[in-house]
């Protein structure tokens, strides 16, 4: 859970609290086509989603691990 929170916090800090529309506007202001800027923003959002899902899956896998030394024997 700590890793997930760190990823979320670091992502928010790196994003600079700028909306996707603002990032696209900044990109188009540099002379890049809207389609390219939009695609770049979509890929950015997808990479954030993938990172958070990966962290969540890793946390879930660790939470469900079974340790033989912790099992009860009759």
Q: Where are the domains of the chain?
A: 19-57
Listed residue (58, 42, 52, 54) closest to 11, CA to CA: 52
**Residues 17 and 26: beta-carbon distance below 8 Å:** no
Q: Give the pLDDT score at 33.
A: 96
Q: Give the pLDDT score at 37.
A: 96
68: phi > 0 → left, psi -120 to 50 → alpha, else beta; which? alpha
CA dihedral 5, 7, 13, 14 (to 10 degrees): -170
pTM of the model: 0.61
pLDDT in tens, 14-72: 656 789 999 999 999 999 999 999 999 999 999 999 999 999 999 999 888 876 676 66
The contacts of residue 26 (CB under 8 Å, 6+ apart) are 18
């Amino acid at each position: 859970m700590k890793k997930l929170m760190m990823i979320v916090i670091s992502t928010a800090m790196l994003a600079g609290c700028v909306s996707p529309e603002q990032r696209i506007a900044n990109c188009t202001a540099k002379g890049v086509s809207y389609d390219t800027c939009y695609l770049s923003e979509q890929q950015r959002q997808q990479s954030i989603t993938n990172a958070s899902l990966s962290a969540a899956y890793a946390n879930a896998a660790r939470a469900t691990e079974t340790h033989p030394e912790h099992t009860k024997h009759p």
